[in-house]
Amino acid sequence: MVRLEKKATRLYVLDTNVLLHDPAALFQFDEHDVVIPLTVLEELDKHKNGLKEIARTARQVSRTLSDLTRQASFSDIQQGITLPGKGKLRFLCYTDLQLPSHLTDTPDNRLLAETCRLRDERTDASVILVSKDINLRVKASALQVPVEDYRTDQAFADSDSMIDGVRIYPELDGQHDGSLWQALQMDVQTERRDGHTFYSLQGRLPHDWHLSQLISDSERDAGFEAIIRELEPQRARLELLRNYRHQKSVWGVHARDSRQNFALNLLMDPDMDLVTLSGSAGTGKTYMALAAAFELTFDQRRFERIVFTRAPISMSEDIGFLPGTEEEKMSPWMGAFHDNMDNLLRNEDGENTWSDSATRSLVNSRVQIRSPGFMRGRTLNDTFLIIDEAQNFAPKQLKSLITRAGRNSKIVCLGNVGQIDTPYLTANTCGLAAVVEGFRNWAHAGHVTLRSIERSRLALAGEELL
C-alpha cells in the first residue's frame, strides 16, 4: 500500500470497520491525532440497532464518543478534544464535499473524498487512512492516499508466528546421559517429590524458553520430556512429564508423539486452568480434549459437567433458520463433537455404546452443548469448558467466554489459525492468537501446536494440491 514520508504531525483517519473491530481504537494512536469523518458517524448510526455483536459494539463506540464530547465546548470540538495519549480527537464534517466524477456516491467513496480533501488542506501533516477493508485500501493507493491496516490489536507481528509451546532438541535424540544440560551449559540438580521428578537448572537459559513450555529431545519417541514450571533469568525448574503412550492412557486414548503426550499432560494437570491446542484437522485436538473431559468428569469426578461450545460460523452460505431448543439449534455445528464422542464411547470390541440407554442417560446428564451467544453473565463452577473453533472468535468474544470460569473450572480452547471463516480476523488478530500470546507467561496456562502424523492419503493430498 502507498505510504508517503511521515511528517512530525500525523492525522489518522479511521474507517468504520476499525471502530467496530476494536471499540478502543480511538486510544491506540499515542500522541497522534485521530480523525472521525461524518461518513463514519453515519455508518455507526446505521449499525447501532439490534442485538447482534456488531450493534453492541457500535453502541459502545457511540457511548465513548458521547463521553468524550460531553464536557467539551463547541470551541474544544473544533480545535480537537485531547485524548489520554496527548493526541486529539477531531471530527471531519464537510458540508460541500465533492466526489471525483469517476466515483459513485457510496460510503467508502465519500470517506476517500473526505480523506483526500483533508490531505490537500493539511500539507503540514501526514494524513493516513486506517481501514481493515482490503478493497478500500487498494482504492486509496490508487488515489495516492497513504493507507494502513489496523495492526494495534495484533497478538504478534506478521513476521512472527504463534508460539508452538514446544522446544525440541533433535540433535540430542537418544542421548540420555546429561547431554542436554551439557549442550545448554547448565548445572542441574534432580529431585523426586510426591511421585514427580523435578530438574533445577542454573546457568544461561535459552531466550526462547517460556513458562509451561515442553522441552523434549524428539518429536516422536522422546527419551526426555519435561514442562517448564518456573523460569527466571538464570534459573529454571522443570518437571518430568507422564508418558501416555503405552501403559497409561486417558479414557483409553494414547499419545502418538511428543506433542500429543504434552497435550494430554496439560489436559490432565490440575494446576493448568487454561489449555490451548492448535493444529490442522486430524491432529487430535477435539478427540484428546473430550477424552480428558470424560476421564476427569466420569472417572475422577473432578468436575460435575462438561460444556461444549463453538463459534457458529459457517464456511459457506448459511442454511437459514434452525428450529428447536438451544442444543438442537447448535447441533449442525457440533459434527466434530458427535463424531469424536461416538469413537470415545466404543467398548473394547469396537461396538458403539451410545445406543445403550444407561450410557446415553449418563452422558446427557453431564454433557451440555451451549451457544456462545447465551454465555454472557454466567459463572461456570466445577465445569470442564471446551471452546472449539476458537480462531473464529474475536479477542473480545473469547475474553467473554474465558471470564465465565468460576470455582474449580478448566477451559480448553481448540482451533486452527489457518482456517478462519470470520471476516476481518487473521491469524495474528483472532481470539485464539490473543489468548495464546496473552497467557504465555502465566504458570497456570499451557499451549501446544499439534502436527499431523497419521492422516488419510486423501486428506494429505487435499492440503498439498488445493
Domain extent listing, the chain: 9-148, 166-315+324-465
The pLDDT tens digits along the chain (466 residues) read: 455 555 678 999 999 999 998 888 999 998 899 999 999 999 999 998 887 778 888 999 999 999 999 888 888 888 899 998 889 999 998 888 888 777 788 999 999 999 999 999 998 889 999 998 989 999 999 888 899 988 876 665 554 568 899 998 876 555 545 567 777 778 889 999 988 999 999 988 888 899 999 999 888 878 889 999 999 989 999 999 999 998 899 998 999 999 999 999 999 999 999 999 999 888 999 999 999 999 999 999 999 999 988 877 654 445 455 556 555 555 555 566 667 777 777 766 656 555 565 566 667 778 888 888 778 788 999 999 999 999 999 888 899 999 999 999 999 999 999 888 887 788 888 999 999 999 999 999 999 999 866 555 555 555 555 5
Rounded-to-integer distance, Cα 376 and Cα 386, Å? 16
CA–CA distances in Å: residue 304 to residues 38, 48, 172, 366, 379: 53, 40, 43, 7, 14
Q: 0.75 cut: is pTM over it?
A: no
Kindly state the greatest CA–CA separation across the chain.
Answer: 80
Structural fold of domain 166-315+324-465 = Rossmann fold (3.40.50)
Write the burial class of residue 204 (CB in 10 Å: 0-12 exposed, 13-18 middle, 19+ buried). Answer: exposed
* 426: region left, alpha or beta (phi > 0 left; psi from -120 to 50 alpha): beta
Model pLDDT, residue 51: 73
Summarize the chain as % helix, strand, coil (round to 5): 35, 20, 45
CATH number of 9-148: 3.40.50.1010
pLDDT attached to residue 466: 52
